[in-house]
């Protein structure tokens, strides 16, 4: 993880935008990706980091996450990235187990897109 991504995580932690357990969860997921050989930097995972932090924070705060009109398009795009989809579902399962916050299908799709991009930059699609 580069210094810029570490700074993003630190700002979430210190800013109180999301509960500390969400910051810990997301940081652990990023470390896992990095341990598997993926390039986890601000450029490759900054948007993934913020999106997952905010989505899990909203779920823990009881805020609804609505479906998006682009859900079908995103699902279609993800058809070529089954590893990213599997990883996104696994992250959602861990979030439900560890935080009590399962990501809805819309968020799983967006997470899958982020993971597909990360995999493209790393040369392999994150799988779980």
> CA 30, CA 99: separation in Å to the nearest integer?
16
The candidate with the shortest Cα–Cα distance to 91, out of 118, 121, 67, is 118
**What are the respective helix, strand and coil percentages of the chain, to the nearest 5?**
70, 0, 30
Q: Are 128 and 58 contacting, i.e. CB atoms less than 8 angstroms apart? A: no
Helix (H) or strand (E) holding 43, with range, is helix 42-60
Split at pLDDT 50, 70, 90, the class of 71 is low
The pLDDT assigned to 82 comes to 87
Q: What confidence tier does 124 reach under pLDDT thresholds 50, 70, 90?
A: low
pLDDT tier at 125 (50, 70, 90 boundaries)? Answer: very low
Burial class (CB in 10 A: 0-12, 13-18, 19+), 40: buried
User: pTM value?
Assistant: 0.86
Q: Half-sphere exposure of residue 43, counting CA atoms within 13 Å on the CB side?
A: 5
Q: Kindly state the average pLDDT of the residues 74-86.
A: 82
């Amino acid at each position: 993880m580069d210094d810029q991504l570490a700074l993003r995580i630190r700002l979430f932690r210190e800013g109180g935008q999301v509960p500390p357990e969400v910051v810990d969860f997301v940081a652990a997921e990023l470390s896992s990706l990095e341990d598997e050989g993926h390039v986890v930097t601000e450029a490759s995972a900054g948007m993934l980091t913020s999106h997952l932090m905010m989505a899990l924070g909203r779920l823990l705060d009881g805020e609804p996450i609505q479906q998006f009109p682009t859900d079908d398009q995103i699902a279609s795009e993800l058809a070529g990235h089954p590893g990213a989809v599997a990883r996104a579902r696994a992250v959602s399962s861990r979030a439900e187990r560890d935080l009590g916050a399962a990501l809805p299908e819309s968020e799983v799709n967006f997470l899958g897109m982020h993971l597909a991009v990360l995999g493209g930059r790393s040369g392999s699609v994150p799988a779980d």
